[in-house]
């Protein structure tokens, strides 16, 4: 059978096997509902084929290429899809549960409502993929890259997201409850309202992410980076955030009650109405924060650096401030009742003069003076 003949008729199972054995490209074929169970499709090439409802269970599909194919509702559960290449594919509702999908590349793939529960996507790349409503619960996404992917309403509960890269991904309404998020990259992602309570979110790069209303209560967020993130109304109460970075973040009304925050960095953060009641903040950097109405009641701010901070109307009732640096702070209507404000370090006059000279010099040379 010639290549031209292959493109003019629907293939039978045997003809398909023979074509693959000859290393033919399978083009423009309607293979909907075909029984492909147990076949060796390794290294095969499919282009513009219709494979809706096809059954691939038990098939060998390693290094197989699919381009502009439709696998709507196909069953690939528990198959080996190592290094498969999917380009511009419609995989809506496909069953990929328990599959081995390592080092695969999916570009422009639609996986809406697909089932990838328990699948292994180690080192797989998903570029501009749509995974809205997909089930990825208990899946392994170790070093998986999701570039501008849409995961609206997706279920990633209890998934392993160790070193996973989500770049500008939309996870609006997704479920990440119980997921292991460690050393993951979530920069500029939409994660508003996510529930990470009691889970692991350590050493994560979440700079610029929208985490409005996210729940990190009791979570492990040690050394995670939230620089420039939107964390309005976020809940970090009782969280372990040793060395976490919140520089320039928007933390209006965020809750840090009883959180563990030693060596954390909040420099330049907006903390209006934030609550740090009884938080442990030893040696944290709070320089240049703006926190009107923030509550630090009973907080341990030993050795904290509040240089240039605006502490107007903040409440430091019973706060521990031993050797805390209060260099050039604004403290209008600040409540220091019962605190150890007298044990804090005040403005360093020599440093203040040097800073003023530097500011005047800058203004003079930039024409701002």
For residue 4, tell me if it sits in a domain: yes
What contacts 270, CB < 8 A, 6 or more positions away?
A: 249, 250, 251, 252, 289, 290, 291
Using pLDDT thresholds of 50, 70 and 90, give the confidence band for residue 5. Answer: very low
Check whether 159 has a pLDDT greater than 50. yes
> Does pLDDT of 366 surpass 90?
no
Q: What is the pLDDT of residue 367?
A: 64
Q: Which residues contact 95 (CB under 8 A, 6 or more apart)?
A: 73, 74, 75, 76, 77, 114, 115
Answer whether residue 269 shows pLDDT above 80: yes
Question: Has residue 364 got a pLDDT over 90?
Answer: no
Q: What is the pLDDT of residue 144?
A: 98
Task: Using alpha carbons, select from 102, 189, 197 the residue that is nearest to residue 157.
Answer: 197
* pLDDT given for residue 9 in this prediction: 52
Percent of the chain whose pLDDT exceeds 90: 90
pLDDT tens figures, 313-351: 999 999 999 999 999 999 999 999 999 999 999 998 889
Residues 293-300: what's their mean pLDDT? 99
66 belongs to a structural domain: yes
Give the pLDDT of residue 10: 74
What is the pLDDT, as a whole number, of residue 3? 42
Q: For the segment 194-204, what is each residue's pLDDT rounded down to a tens digit?
A: 999 999 999 99
Residue 129 located in a structural domain: no
- Please tell me the predicted confidence (pLDDT) of residue 56: 96
CATH of the domain at 25: 2.160.20.80
Per-residue pLDDT of 168-197, as tens digits, reads 999 999 999 999 999 999 999 999 999 999
pLDDT grade for 352, boundaries at 50, 70 and 90: confident
Strand partners, 178: none
User: Does the residue 49 lie in any domain?
Assistant: yes
Residue 19 belongs to some domain of the structure:
yes
- CA dist 275 to 260, 282, 301, 355, Å? 13, 16, 14, 31
The predicted pLDDT at position 6 comes to: 43
Give the model's pLDDT for residue 368: 55
366 CB neighbour count, 10 Å cutoff: 8
What is residue 11's DSSP assignment? P
pLDDT for 65-118, tens place per residue?
999 999 999 999 999 999 999 999 999 999 999 999 999 999 999 999 999 999
Is residue 338, in this structure, part of any structural domain at all? no
Measured CA to CA in angstroms, residue 39 lies from 90, 210, 358 at distances of 22, 45, 75
- pLDDT band at residue 1 using 50, 70 and 90 as cut-offs: very low
Report the number of distinct structural domains present in the chain.
Answer: 1
Residue 4 domain boundaries: 1-76
Whether 8 is covered by a domain: the verdict is yes
Average pLDDT of the chain is: 94
Q: Which residues contact 214 (CB under 8 A, 6 or more apart)?
A: 191, 192, 193, 194, 195, 196, 231, 234, 235
Contact status, residue 82 vs residue 65, Cβ threshold 8 Å: no
Does residue 24 fall inside a structural domain?
yes
**How many angstroms separate the CA atoms of 79 and 220, rounded?**
35
User: What is the secondary structure of 74-104 as a DSSP string?
Assistant: -B-TT-B-TT-EEES-B-TT-B-TT-B-TT-
């Amino acid at each position: 059978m010639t290549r031209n003949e292959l493109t003019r008729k629907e293939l039978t199972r045997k003809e398909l096997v023979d074509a693959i054995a000859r290393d033919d490209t399978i083009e423009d074929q309607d293979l909907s509902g075909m029984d492909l169970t147990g076949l060796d499709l390794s290294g095969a090439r499919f282009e513009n084929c219709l494979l809706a409802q096809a059954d691939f269970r038990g098939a060998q599909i390693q290094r197989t290429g699919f381009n502009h194919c439709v696998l709507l509702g196909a069953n690939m559960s528990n198959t080996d899809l190592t290094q498969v290449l999917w380009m511009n594919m419609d995989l809506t509702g496909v069953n990929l549960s328990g599959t081995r999908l390592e080092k695969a590349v999916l570009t422009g793939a639609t996986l809406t409502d697909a089932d990838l529960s328990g699948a292994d996507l180690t080192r797989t790349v998903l570029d501009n993929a749509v995974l809205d409503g997909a089930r990825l619960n208990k899946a392994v996404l170790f070093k998986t890259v999701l570039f501008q992917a849409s995961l609206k309403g997706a279920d990633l509960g209890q998934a392993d997201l160790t070193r996973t890269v989500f770049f500008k991904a939309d996870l609006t309404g997704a479920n990440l409850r119980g997921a292991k998020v460690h050393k993951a990259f979530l920069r500029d992602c939409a994660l508003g309202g996510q529930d990470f309570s009691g889970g692991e979110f350590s050493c994560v790069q979440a700079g610029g992410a929208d985490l409005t209303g996210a729940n990190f209560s009791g979570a492990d967020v040690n050394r995670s980076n939230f620089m420039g993130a939107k964390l309005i109304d976020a809940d970090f109460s009782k969280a372990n955030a040793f060395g976490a970075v919140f520089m320039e973040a928007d933390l209006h009304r965020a809750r840090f009650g009883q959180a563990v925050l030693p060596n954390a960095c909040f420099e330049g953060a907006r903390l209006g109405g934030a609550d740090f009641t009884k938080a442990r903040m030893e040696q944290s950097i709070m320089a240049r924060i703006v926190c009107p109405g923030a509550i630090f009641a009973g907080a341990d701010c030993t050795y904290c650096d509040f240089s240039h901070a605006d502490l107007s109307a903040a409440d430091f009732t019973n706060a521990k401030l031993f050797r805390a640096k209060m260099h050039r702070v604004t403290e209008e209507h600040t409540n220091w009742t019962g605190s150890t404000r007298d044990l804090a370090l005040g403005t360093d006059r020599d440093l203040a003069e040097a800073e003023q000279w530097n500011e005047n010099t800058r203004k003079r040379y930039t024409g701002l003076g």
